[in-house]
Structure 1
Amino acid sequence: MTTTTVTRAGERTCERLPGAWQLGLLRGGLELKQFFRQREQVVFTFAFPVVFLFLFASIFSDDVQGAGISASQLYVPGMMAAGIMSTSFQSLGISIAIERDERVLRRLRGTPMPPASYFLGKVWLVLVTGLLETAVLLVVGTTVYDVELPTDAGRWAAFTWLFVLGITACALLGIAISSVPRSGRSATSVVVLPFLVLQFISGVYISVDTIPDWMLNIGALFPLKWLCQGLRGVFLPESANVLEQTGSWEFGKAALVLGAWCVGGLVLCLLTFRWKNRRDG
């Protein structure tokens, strides 16, 4: 993409405009600045899972029979998974719906900025906040609740692909669900309700060995359950896998389901995403 300018001597020169990737980086920087300038939002985003971790770990503090861990240790990976989904699915689902309602998307669509740059900016926002959220919970888990960091490269590799696939799948679902609310005002209730239900049936707040099988089977259709299970496999000892529905971490199945949601989420985005509100035609 180029623009033509006229010099004083009357000669025409061509200046190359920034590409989609470069504009995406700039857009990501703007998204991060806007996020960190809203102090209340920053505090809520990073404090919410930590507070819930503290509450549940304090209420259910006994050792888990037969698993070789305490209940508080069991909650740390689940809260990490919920934090990843919160900074991606919930954050994008609500913010994009509000931007559409306030016609921000419509104005951006009318600029020369490639559409891909807008989504790249959101990707950078989600990636940075997701990493920070996970780091905060890891620090709390290791210093307060005696969660041990993996000592072998295999588990760190599993953590990496779980994080990448999980945050990608949840971000794409967040973009897709942003088209469901009819207005920015209803976005919070439309997005938060399914996220809250998934947290209860995916093993975030309740140990999976106490959840009815039919609920676990429903939760297994969505990314959060596999993200929780995979992170438990990374940060908990092997003895804890007796709590799982099948008695194993099922890393391979987690990769398949999360990968499928990445593909399915992308298809949903392409089919449903709108730059304008329904009332705007």
Structure 2
Amino acid sequence: MTMPSTLRVGTARGLVEILQLVRTREALIFTFAFPALLSILLGSIFDEPVTPGGTTTHSQVFAAGMIAYGILSTAFISVGVGISVDRADGSLLRLRGTPATAGAYFLGKILLVLFAALLEVALLLAVAVLLFDLPLPADPGRWLTFAWLLLLSVIACTLLGIAASSLARSARSAPAVLNLPVLVLQFTSGIFVHIAALPSAMVNISALFPVKWMGQGFRSVFLPDALAAQEVAGAWEHGRTALVLGAWCVIGLALSLATFRWSDRR
């Protein structure tokens, strides 16, 4: 008897995860509402032009960068907390008795996050367009950039969320453990604070992590090319962004395989 392939089992697992998310309305609403609410608050506070006489406002810059936070929140926090809960109540241990391997389980989580991220991004863009007049790109090349940025960001953040779930000693402590690094990186990576206003040492450290490159990448999709001068390197650096995010996909997979466990240590 031939066992189902990892791709087949992972895809089936992803569909199950998506159905569970859709049926849990309160989780669906709160998962998507928080990044959109932060975008509205930050955009309403900082609505002056980025440059004197310019047409691009700080609210538009924040709105573009908040896509990175929306993906990170959906992938890293939600996945990490969810796995901690499933491990604590025995759901993962029961799943181990099925044909689902660790690789298939990871693939299912990536598909879940990709689905949720698309909805999250659609909501954030709707807020940006309706409230902050963010123009959507007419150039297909920018949407192609958006597509690979979204895919690499989802894979990297999901795998890191899977690995980070092992850091929490219990399901109760998981939200605190996972929210702390996310909150710090939002400030040091230029998501909540304009990156030009950050100390160079802080930016150099944040450049080691994916969030800075995610924010910079999504700004490159939705902001004019003239705004690249506001970035640390004075350019969008698409090649380096792809390399960093790709490297974190590999690192995240290695960490997930090394740290993932089906049951609680106890």
Superposition pairs for residues 218-233 of structure 1, below 5 Å?
Answer: 218-233=205-220
The alignment-based identity, stated in percent, is 51
1:213 aligns with 2:200: yes
- Kindly state the Cα deviation for residue 68 of structure 1 after the two structures are TM-superposed: 4.2
* CA contact 1:68–1:239 (8 Å) conserved in 2: no
Superposition pairs for residues 68-83 of structure 1, below 5 Å?
Answer: 68-83=55-70
Superposition pairs for residues 102-181 of structure 1, below 5 Å?
Answer: 102-181=89-168
1:31 aligns with 2:20: no
Partner of residue 196, structure 1 = 183
CA distance in 2, matches of 1:155, 1:187: 36
CA distance in 2, matches of 1:260, 1:19: 26
Deviations 1:163-199 (A, max 9, x none): 1111111111001101111111111111010011111
CA distance in 2, matches of 1:39, 1:112: 29
1:59 aligns with 2:70: no
- Which structure's CA Rg is the greater one? 1
* CA contact 2:40–2:127 (8 Å) conserved in 1: no
- Kindly state the Cα deviation for residue 58 of structure 1 after the two structures are TM-superposed: 1.0
1:242 aligns with 2:229: yes
Partner of residue 11, structure 1 = none
CA distance in 1, matches of 2:159, 2:12: 21
- Kindly state the Cα deviation for residue 28 of structure 1 after the two structures are TM-superposed: 1.8
CA RMSD, aligned part only? 1.5
Superposition pairs for residues 86-97 of structure 1, below 5 Å?
Answer: 86-97=73-84
Amino acid paired to 1:100: R
Larger % of strand: which? 1
List gaps (5 residues or longer) in structure 1: 3-16
- Kindly state the Cα deviation for residue 54 of structure 1 after the two structures are TM-superposed: 0.9
TM-score for the superposition, normalised by structure 2: 0.94
Give the number of aligned pairs.
265
- Kindly state the Cα deviation for residue 27 of structure 1 after the two structures are TM-superposed: 1.9
* CA contact 2:106–2:159 (8 Å) conserved in 1: no
Go from structure 1 to structure 2 and tell me whether the alpha carbon gap of 1:68 and 1:209 turns closer, same or farther (over 3 Å shift). Answer: farther
CA distance in 2, matches of 1:113, 1:29: 13
* CA contact 2:189–2:207 (8 Å) conserved in 1: yes
- Kindly state the Cα deviation for residue 64 of structure 1 after the two structures are TM-superposed: 1.2
List gaps (5 residues or longer) in structure 2: none
Partner of residue 254, structure 1 = 241
